[in-house]
Structure 1
Amino acid sequence: MSSIEKMIIKEQVTEQIRTVYDPEIPVNIYELGLVYNVEVSDSGLVDVTMTLTSPACPAAQVIPVEVKQKTETVKGVSETNVNIVWEPRWETSMMSEEARLTLGM
C-alpha cells in the first residue's frame, strides 16, 4: 500500500471515528480529544490509540467496540486494533474549540 493510499484510509477512518459519541456527551470522541493517534500499516491494519474520559466511564465497553466496527467499514482496512491508554490522562483542555462551544465552555 502506498503512502498516499494510507493517508486516504487514515482520513476516512478519522471521519468514521467522528461518528462515535460518548452516550453522555453530545460531542464525538474525536472532538473530545479522546483519540490520540491513528496509524495505518501497509497491510491495512489500523491501530487506534485512545483514552476515555475516566477509567470509570460507563461507556468503556461500548465506545472501543463501536470504533472498531466503524473503522472496519472503510475500504482497505483489514482489521482494527483499539488500544485504550490512560497516559496522558484526558483533560478538558484536549477538546477542540468546536467541542468547547457545543458544551458551552
Structure 2
Amino acid sequence: MAKAAPSPDELRDQVVEALRTVFDPEIPVNIYELGLIYTVDVNEAGDVKIEMTLTSANCPAAQSLPAEVEYKTKLIDGVGEVTVDVVWDPPWSPEHMSETARLELGLM
C-alpha cells in the first residue's frame, strides 16, 4: 500500500524541524530560534516557499545559509519545488529571537 503524501501542515512541521538543524556559524543557535525564518509556506503540491533574513547585510554566511536552507528542505520526502527568498524587511533584530534562543545566549 502506498504511503499517503504528507499534508501541507505536516510538511511545514518537517521543514521547521529541518531548519532547526541549520546554524549561523557565528552564533551557537539555530536559525529558526534566532528568528531568521520569517515564513514557511507549503502548498497542496508540496512546494515550499521560505522567507528568511540574515543578521546583517554583511553576514559572512549570506551565500551559505540560504543554500543550506534550500538543501535541507529538499531532502524531506514529499517536498516539491523549494524557493528561498532573503528579505530585509523587516530588518532582523534580537527581538525576533525565541525565548529559547535568548536564554541560550544569556540575553534574559
User: How many angstroms apart in 1 are the aligned matches of 2:42 and 2:87?
Assistant: 18
Compute the RMSD of aligned alpha carbons: 0.9
Q: Which runs of 4+ in 1 moved over 4 A?
A: none
Q: Which residues of 2 match residues 52-71 of structure 1 at below 5 A?
A: 52-71=54-73
State the TM-score, normalizing by the size of structure 2: 0.92
Partner residue of 2:19 out of 17, 30, 34:
17
Task: Find the counterpart in structure 1 of residue 3 from structure 2.
Answer: none
Long gaps (5+) in structure 1: none
Q: Which residues of 2 match residues 52-91 of structure 1 at below 5 A?
A: 52-91=54-93
State the TM-score, normalizing by the size of structure 1: 0.94
Long gaps (5+) in structure 2: 1-5
Identity of matched residues, %: 54
Give the greater-gyration-radius structure (CA): 2
